[in-house]
């Protein structure tokens, strides 16, 4: 009996402190007010078929209203909300998808109250690749009596990939301008190529070299 009492009162101040902390935590949780917040989150697409491209320029977003304890939601950020759509069976064309609460990953103790919009439409197109010409852009004022004889891009062609209809409409890529002012003879510059369509991309993005060759001319110097 004495041993039991001795163990009971051993480290008594620490045990009392632990009990007080536990009671305070329980009290805080039990009396934590419930609040609602709205968060705008981009839709995550999972299992996109390899032969398809999303051809909608705007990434769908949803405003998700969430209810839960204030201690959880007061500092809620967009990265903690994950609305997702499974595109495993998607096909080319326009498709409408419903977004429900069970498709949204949330912090523990939070629940979805409302989703706006609850459905959205996505445009799909077949994936296509194509080789296109790289057109160099050369600017500058050349030395008196010289003009550009030749400007060559290396590589001369690049491969692009994207939605089939958009890829088909692109004929060439244009480089950022290089300033060849004062070049006499031959000079090489490094730059990058650009495609105006945001849904079409380079298969192997990288730097482009432009070789500029000038020659003597009877015309005065100028900007090409």
The answer to the question of residue 26 being in a domain is no
| Residue range(s) defining the domain that contains residue 143 | 127-216
Backbone dihedral angles phi then psi of residue 30, each to the nearest 5 degrees? -65, -30
The answer to the question of residue 45 being in a domain is yes
The answer to the question of residue 14 being in a domain is no
- Final residue of a structural domain among 117, 147, 167: 117
Question: What is d(CA 26, CA 7) in angstroms, rounded to the nearest whole number?
Answer: 26
Give the total number of structural domains in the chain.
Answer: 2
Cβ–Cβ under 8 Å, residues 210 and 191: yes
- Let me know whether 106 and 159 are in one domain: no
Q: So what's the pLDDT on residue 222?
A: 47
- Let me know whether 145 and 196 are in one domain: yes
- Let me know whether 160 and 200 are in one domain: yes
The answer to the question of residue 12 being in a domain is no
Per-residue pLDDT of 51-96, as tens digits, reads 999 998 888 899 999 998 888 887 777 778 899 999 988 999 999 9
Mean pLDDT, the chain, integer: 85
Q: So what's the pLDDT on residue 23?
A: 47
The answer to the question of residue 223 being in a domain is no
Per-residue pLDDT of 180-206, as tens digits, reads 998 999 999 999 999 999 999 999 999
3-state secondary structure of 12: helix
CATH number at residue 165: 2.170.120.40
The answer to the question of residue 18 being in a domain is no
Question: What is d(CA 175, CA 60) in angstroms, rounded to the nearest whole number?
Answer: 31
Q: So what's the pLDDT on residue 71?
A: 81
- Let me know whether 107 and 45 are in one domain: yes
Per-residue pLDDT of 25-48, as tens digits, reads 544 555 568 888 888 999 999 999
- Let me know whether 45 and 72 are in one domain: yes
Closest by CA position to 102, among listed 81, 120, 80, 83 = 83
3-state secondary structure of 70: helix
Partners of 184 in beta bridges: none
- Final residue of a structural domain among 117, 151, 168: 117
pTM (two decimals):
0.71
Closest by CA position to 67, among listed 121, 113, 101 = 113
């Amino acid at each position: 009996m004495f041993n039991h009492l001795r163990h009971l009162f051993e480290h008594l101040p620490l045990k009392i402190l632990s009990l007080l902390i536990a009671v305070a935590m329980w009290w805080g949780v039990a009396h934590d007010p419930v609040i609602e917040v709205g968060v705008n989150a981009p839709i995550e697409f999972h299992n996109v078929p390899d032969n398809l491209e999303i051809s909608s320029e705007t990434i769908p977003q949803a405003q998700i209203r969430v209810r839960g304890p204030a201690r959880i939601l007061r500092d809620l950020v967009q990265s903690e909300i994950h609305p997702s759509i499974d595109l495993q069976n998607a096909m080319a064309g326009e498709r409408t998808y419903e977004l429900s609460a069970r498709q949204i990953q949330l912090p523990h103790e939070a629940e979805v109250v409302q989703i706006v919009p609850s459905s959205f439409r996505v445009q799909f197109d077949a994936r296509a690749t194509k080789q296109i010409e790289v057109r160099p852009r050369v600017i500058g004022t050349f030395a008196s009596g010289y003009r550009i004889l030749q400007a060559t891009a290396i590589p001369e062609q690049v491969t692009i990939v994207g939605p089939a209809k958009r890829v088909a409409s692109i004929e060439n890529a244009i480089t950022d301008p290089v300033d060849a002012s004062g070049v006499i003879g031959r000079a090489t510059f490094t730059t990058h190529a650009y495609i105006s369509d945001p849904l079409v991309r380079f298969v192997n993005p990288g730097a482009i070299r432009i070789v500029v060759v000038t020659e003597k001319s009877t015309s005065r110097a100028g900007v090409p």
